[in-house]
């Protein structure tokens, strides 16, 4: 792209906020009440995984993979790409992320992060994406009909994934961070261009992840592991 320095995020905004909001509303209507199934199902798996229930620990990453596939296929590919050709590339990235989640779920050596700050910070971020993010629609002067929920929409799915990955210990799990971080940056810029106050959420998520990454995943002297 020539003279790239003359471009601003607004130059890449291809649609009006009204079109975007209506797209989400119609998408939510098409699948209601699947949103509740995604949120409740993921919440249950997370809680049980924290309680060391074996099935939940095994199901955690595959459940995220399902959410990423659903976002890629139903939202990005079938809907968002009709108004934003960039979503075609995002579909590929989301599919890759789903593949990575499925692949890394085969590794049985994941543990909950021992560092309290990283563990609770990651969990808080994951729960934010799951439970609080849908309510942000109200801040953006939208109704809950345009709520963005985990498994259905990319933002809460990416944020919950980031939080969960941070709360788990496992060096290879860091491979799961780049795509959701890139999505948060992309989504934040689009929302900024739309002058949507919700832009702060994906952008702040990047900052939170960066801060938590500075915290070691394991304590210097983890219990039972001298």
Partner 1 sequence: MRFTRRSVLQGLALAASLPAMGRSPFAQPADALRKVIPSSHEEIPAIGLGTWITFNVGDDPVLKDECAAVIAAFFEGGGRLIDSSPMYGSSQPTIGYGLKNLGYPDRLFAAEKVWISDPASGPEQIEASRAYWGVEKFDLMQVHNLVSWEDHLPMLFEMKAKAQLRYVGITTSEGRRHREIESIMTSEPIDFVQLTYNILDREAEERILPLAQEKGIAVIINRPFRQGSLIRQLDDEPLPEWIAETGARSWAQFLLKFIVSHPAVTCAIPATTRVDHVRENLEAGGGVLPDETMRRRMVDYVEAL
How many other C-beta atoms are found inside a 10 Å radius of the C-beta of residue 35?
A: 19
146-165: contacts with partner 1 (CB under 8 A): none
Q: Of 2 and 109, which CB lies nearer to partner 1 in the complex structure?
A: 2
| Cα distance between the two ends of the chain | 54
Query: How many angstroms separate the CA atoms of 180 and 191, rounded?
Result: 16
* Per CB under 8 A, 84 contacts partner 1: yes
10-49: contacts with partner 1 (CB under 8 A): 10-11, 13-16, 18-19, 22-23, 26
* Per CB under 8 A, 83 contacts partner 1: yes
Number of residues interacting with partner 1: please give it, by CB under 8 A.
19
DSSP secondary structure of 54-121: HHHHHHHHHHHHHHHHHIIIIIIITTGGGT-THHHHHHHHHHHHHHHHHHHTT-TT-EE-SSHHHHHH
How many other C-beta atoms are found inside a 10 Å radius of the C-beta of residue 4?
A: 6
Closest approach of Cβ 85 to partner 1, in Å?
6
Q: Which stretch binds partner 1 (CB under 8 A): 77-85, 88-96, 105-113, 165-173?
A: 77-85
Instruction: Return the residue of 30, 37, 47, 85 that touches partner 1, per CB under 8 A.
Output: 85
Q: Which stretch binds partner 1 (CB under 8 A): 82-90, 118-126, 165-173, 203-211?
A: 82-90
Closest approach of Cβ 49 to partner 1, in Å?
38
Q: Of 87 and 209, which CB lies nearer to partner 1 in the complex structure?
A: 87
Q: Of 87 and 130, which CB lies nearer to partner 1 in the complex structure?
A: 87
* Per CB under 8 A, 193 contacts partner 1: no
Q: Of 47 and 139, which CB lies nearer to partner 1 in the complex structure?
A: 139
Instruction: Return the residue of 6, 29, 109, 221 that touches partner 1, per CB under 8 A.
Output: 6
Q: Residue 139: helix, strand or coil by DSSP?
A: helix
Contact 120, 202 (CB under 8 A): no
* Per CB under 8 A, 79 contacts partner 1: yes
How many other C-beta atoms are found inside a 10 Å radius of the C-beta of residue 41?
A: 16
Contact 80, 14 (CB under 8 A): no
Instruction: Return the residue of 36, 82, 88, 138 that touches partner 1, per CB under 8 A.
Output: 82
DSSP secondary structure of 154-223: HHHHHHHHHHHHHHEE-GGGGGGSHHHHHHHHHHHHHHHHTT-GGGHHHHHHHHHHHHHHTS-SS-SS-T
Bridge partners of 112, per DSSP, are: 168
**Contacting residues toward partner 1, per CB under 8 A:** 2-3, 6, 10-11, 13-16, 18-19, 22-23, 26, 79, 82-85
């Amino acid at each position: 792209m020539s003279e790239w320095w003359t471009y601003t995020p607004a130059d890449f905004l291809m649609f009006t906020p009204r079109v975007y909001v209506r797209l989400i509303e119609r998408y939510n209507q098409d699948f209601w009440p699947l949103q509740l199934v995604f949120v409740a199902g993921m919440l249950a798996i997370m809680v049980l995984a924290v309680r060391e229930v074996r099935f939940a620990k095994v199901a955690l990453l595959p459940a995220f993979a399902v959410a990423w596939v659903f976002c890629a296929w139903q939202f990005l590919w079938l809907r968002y790409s009709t108004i934003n050709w960039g979503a075609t590339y995002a579909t590929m990235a989301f599919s890759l992320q789903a593949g990575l989640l499925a692949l890394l779920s085969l590794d049985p050596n994941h543990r909950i992060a021992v560092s309290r700050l990283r563990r609770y910070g990651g969990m808080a971020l994951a729960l934010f994406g799951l439970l609080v993010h849908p309510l942000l629609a109200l801040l953006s002067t939208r109704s809950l009909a345009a709520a963005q929920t985990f498994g259905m929409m990319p933002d809460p799915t990416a944020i919950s994934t980031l939080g969960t990955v941070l709360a788990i210990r496992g060096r290879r799990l860091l491979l799961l961070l780049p795509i959701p971080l890139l999505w948060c940056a992309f989504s934040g810029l689009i929302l900024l261009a739309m002058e949507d106050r919700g832009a702060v959420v994906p952008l702040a998520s990047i900052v939170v992840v960066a801060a938590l990454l500075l915290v070691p995943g394991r304590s210097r002297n983890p219990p039972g592991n001298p």
